[in-house]
Structure 1
Amino acid sequence: MLRFAPSPTGDMHTGNLRAAVFNYILAKQRGEKFLLRIEDTDMQRNIEGKDKDIMFLLNLFGITWDNLVYQSNNFPRHRQFAEYLISKGDAFYCYCTKEFLENKREEAKARHEAFRYEDSWAELEKESNPKPVVRLRGSQNAMKFTDCIKGEIEFAPNEIDSFVILKEDGIPTYNFACAVDDMLYDVDFIVRGEDHVSNTPKQMLIHKNLNYDKEIKFAHLPILLNDEGKKMSKRDNASSVQWLLDSGFLPQAIVNYLILMGNKTPCEVFTLQESLDWFDIGKIAKAPARFDIDKLKFLNREHFKRFNEQDLAVLLGYKDSSIGALAKIYLQEASTLNEIREKVDRIFANKALVLAQLSLQNQEIESQEQEILEFKAEIEQLQKVLLEMLEEKDFTRSDFNDFKQQAMERSAFKGKKFFKPLRFLLTGFAHGPELSDLFPILRLYLKDILRS
């Protein structure tokens, strides 16, 4: 079984989603079940409703699970296993206070040494501390495992000192709950971020002391870097899955990019289901992968191209498939749903109101839109001419040259004074795709587009 084990303490970030995608793919490829485990042991940091947000997002990205587990439901089992380890001498009560341990850390720092817990400290404060923790005895031997991405990883003797498995309130620590649950649910392949590499030997040691000897494969995914080449953090917008969705990126494109990053794939554009045929976790690069928003925009456009016109229209909030065809033309210059929607919505916006808004925002708008204000008088005059033309003739089957010629003759405008106002009245922008390409669709809606 494979598992995705998010914590309901915050929003899902792209690294989380990448791990979920890879675990899901491997489960499907191996014909195994996929477990969603909500790791809710940190009671103080859990945020109500975040578990439902996680499930909603996974479904949105096409990731389904066979079993759902809340880690807190297994607290009684975790305590049973801790008591078993105490009974056989592999775990012990530690009465050290936080203040005592902090002083020991400062002493090690002053000696320029790495802090190591010493088992002899365990009962020094037994009389004054009624709430001990439970620690698992550390390893005296070297520990190593083979990572499917990073190769062999080894930890030196004594590098893993005795660590806490039950806190003073009886709640299991992350490593203990994780190791026990992986054992209980027969997880045999763990794919997660490389920030968990240091947790792996601790979880292996827990399994060893619980006499669990089933082989578990590991793959630790390299970190994601921002556009500056630094580790991606919460301060980076693209680290948030919700920000990507709110910005108009399609779930299909996001998944495509997360699989593509730092990977050798047979093609650039694909769906999650298509990747099941060829995905190989061993081909993920060891080096960190840089998150390139421009690459994601390219993939987003490519996935928009795969939409049929009716579905694209509905996605934009329109009923007619011709609006989907119009949107596809705008893929020349727009790459997100938000950008495409802005282009299409501006076509049908009241142009007098758009002009008024641009006038109010004069100092804040882009130079291209400031250009529109230079032709305000011509726009207003040409709009009257075009509306008069529509009263006299049905242009729904006319070609652009015929429409343009009549409008030019009746308005007596030429050059920029004609084409800039015409483009604005038809599209709401100063620049864009060729009007001759847009007109076969725009002509069906001219009265709505040119209304005053």
Structure 2
Amino acid sequence: MVKVRFAPSPTGYLHVGNARAALVNFMFARREGGQFLLRLDDTDTERGRPEYEQGIYEDLRWLGIEWDAFAKQSERSARYEEVAEALKASGRLYPCFENEDELAAKRAALIKRKLPPVYDRHALSMTPAQRAAAEANGKRPYWRFKLSDEAVSWNDLVLGARNIKLPTVSDPVLIRADGSPLYTFTSVVDDSDMGITHIIRGEDHVSNTAVQIDLFRAIARKPVPRFAHLPLISGGDGEKLSKRIGSISLRSLRKDGIEPGAITAYLARLGTSKDAVALPLAELIAQFSLNDFSRSPPRFDAGQMLGLNRKLLHHLPFEAVKERLPEGAGPEFWEAIKGNLDLLREARRWWAVVAGEIVTPELPDEAVAVIAKAAETLPDELNAATWKAWTAAIAAATGAKGKALYQPLRLALTGEEHGPEMAPLLALMGRERAARRLGACVAANVRPG
């Protein structure tokens, strides 16, 4: 069975970049009839916060992403120690004593000789006595994984064939001097133990993949997971997403009024050959394929996501939004305004138009006559059919037509130059409010003399 994982660190709120990774993993699992694991990389106790952890749960559920299994790395310390001891016993995990200054000097010397700055494995040549002396002098070892002296190849499900010669890579540090394991190590142990079949992540992890494949082979006899690396999203000017747009959290998008369906519809197809369409998540899953992803970095277009948000709102039924509309707003109000919204929060402004107060506008002299006649001829009862007959009567009495007729009426009744159709708005605001606004507009725009 296909099994994938999303492994965020609770050191901040989810943003656009890692939301895309979570979504792609989730859709792949559902499309293949597999499982989606949420695993917290919560070993960073200094930067990790309970509110960030809770935020991960809330944001994923807000997007419609539910997990089939859950794990925390902080609860698996004993397992990491067990695997580390096994690697030490096999000679694949060895102690090192160089400090950062010594390592930097080695790298600088290699670069000066125009050689790759690969760790020289000096620690492997140390005798037990030398190691004991180093520890006696207060040095605590950190532990490196001895890479195989071969090339590692894999067929990336997005990027295609990849080949990396391990001798060109430094042996990675897996255990710090304080005994804490690094993510490269814990991630592979977890993926192996938990039966992860596919690892889908950003292209920035490609350089780690060969190392991790070698580590998979060292700690388990199970098949190595298949890898898929998604090209990183860029901003409008091509800069990396993580530098600017990637910092946009899902929470800020929610606060701005972007619907979760617009985010999933946009991110689901970002970087693919398919156009972004405001489809339900179930339909996006049914049409999902890793084969659709391009090898080129996609560009994040906030305007396109806003366009999807607009289309989604225009088709949402009242029941889907009623809890988020102003108190008292009913189905008639929603049907009247939804086709004019970019963001749901704009509904509050239109509720003030039909049920609250507006700022009386200033009008040119020729428009005041139109408003005065409108006040005189306002019907006793207002309904959806009132607008057409009423405006026809005003036009007949004043000779105004087109913009000269409709623009003053819209301004006087709503305080806005543009907006939803006036017929339902007029019926919603009622005769008393409409009459009061027309009268106030005439009074405010009468010029002395």
**Kindly, what percent of the aligned residue pairs are identical?**
29
SS in 2 for 1:178: helix
Distance change (3 Å), C-alpha of 1:148 and 1:414: closer
**What corresponds to 1:336 in structure 2?**
343
Tell me if the contact between 1:265 and 1:279 (Cα under 8 Å) persists in the aligned partners: no
Deviations 1:318-373 (A, max 9, x none): 5310111112331xxx422234544454454412xx35xxxxxxxxxxxxxxxx54
Change (3 A) 1:250 1:340: same
Measured on the aligned residues, the alpha-carbon RMSD in Å equals 3.0
Could you say what secondary structure the match of 1:155 adopts? strand
Of 72, 75, 85, which residue of structure 1 is paired with 2:74? 72
Instruction: Give distance in 1, aligned partners of 2:297 and 2:62.
Output: 27
List per-residue Cα deviations over 1:168-212 (Å, max 9, x = no partner). Answer: 121110100000000111111111111111121222121111133
What is the CA deviation profile of residues 290-324 of structure 1, one whole-angstrom value per residue up to 9, with x for unaligned ones?
Answer: 11222212222222233124434544335310111
Q: 3-state SS of the aligned residue for 1:233?
A: helix
2:333 to 323, 345, 348: 323
Matches within 5 A, 1:35-184: 35-121=37-123, 125-184=134-193
Contact 1:136–1:162 under 8 Å retained in 2: yes
- State the partner residue of 1:446: 430
Aligned CA distance change for structure 1 residues 127 and 162 (closer, same or farther; 3 Å): farther
Q: Which amino acid aligns with 1:402?
A: A
CA distance in 2, matches of 1:417, 1:303: 34
The answer on whether the counterparts of 1:135 and 1:166 sit within 8 Å (CA) in structure 2 is yes
Deviates more, 1:186-195 or 1:296-305: 296-305
For residue 314 of structure 2, the aligned residue among 305, 308, 311 is 305
Residue 262 of structure 1 contacts residue 285 of structure 1 at CA under 8 Å; is this kept in 2?
Answer: yes
Q: Distance in 2 between matches of 1:139 and 1:43?
A: 33
Distance 1:84 1:255, change over 3 A: same
Change (3 A) 1:401 1:30: closer
Q: Does the CA-based 8 Å contact 1:194-1:222 persist in structure 2? A: yes
Amino acid at match of 1:115: P
- TM-superposed deviation, 1:28: 1.6
What code does the residue aligned with 1:28 have? R
- Alignment counterpart, residue 232 of structure 1, candidates 241, 248, 252: 241
8 Å CA contact 1:139, 1:160 repeated in 2: no
C-alpha distance in structure 2 between counterparts of 1:247 and 1:77, whole Å: 43
- The normalised TM-score by structure 2 is 0.85
The count of aligned residue pairs is 426
Q: Using the alignment, how far apart are the partners of 1:305 and 1:382 within structure 2?
A: 33
- Greater Cα shift, 115-124 or 153-162: 115-124
Partner SS for 2:27 = helix
- Secondary structure of residue in 2 paired with 1:393: coil
1:262/1:284 contact within 8 Å kept: yes
Q: Is the 8 A contact 2:266 2:308 kept in 1?
A: yes
CA distance in 1, matches of 2:246, 2:89: 49
Deviates more, 1:406-415 or 1:172-181: 406-415
The runs of 5 or more residues in structure 1 that have no matched partner are 356-371
**Native 8 Å contact 1:150 1:219 kept in 2:** yes
Partner amino acid, structure 2, of 1:37 = R
Alpha carbons of structure 1 residues 397 and 127: separation in structure 2 relative to 1, 3 Å: closer
Q: Give 5+ residue unaligned stretches, structure 2.
A: 438-449
Tell me the equivalent position of 2:258.
Answer: 249
1:276 is paired with a residue of what secondary structure? Answer: helix
- Return the alpha-carbon distance in structure 1 between the equivalents of residues 75 and 318 of structure 2: 47
Match in the other structure for 1:350:
357
| 8 Å contact kept, 1:425–1:449 | no
* Cα displacement (A) at 1:121: 3.9
Q: How far apart, in 2, do the equivalents of 1:95 and 1:384 lie?
A: 90
Which 10-residue stretch deviates more, 270-279 or 180-189? Answer: 270-279
Q: Deviations over 1:369-420 (max 9, x none)?
A: xxx54559977x9889867766x71223652133335667899998877644
Check the 8 A contact 2:333/2:428 in 1, yes or no. Answer: no
Q: Per the alignment, do residues 442 and 428 of structure 1 end up closer, same or farther by CA in structure 2, a change over 3 Å counting? A: same
**TM, length-normalised to structure 1:** 0.84
How far, CA to CA, are the matches of 1:430 and 1:304 in structure 2? 22
Question: For the structure 1 residues 442 and 142, does the alpha-carbon distance in structure 2 shift closer, same or farther, using more than 3 Å as the test?
Answer: same
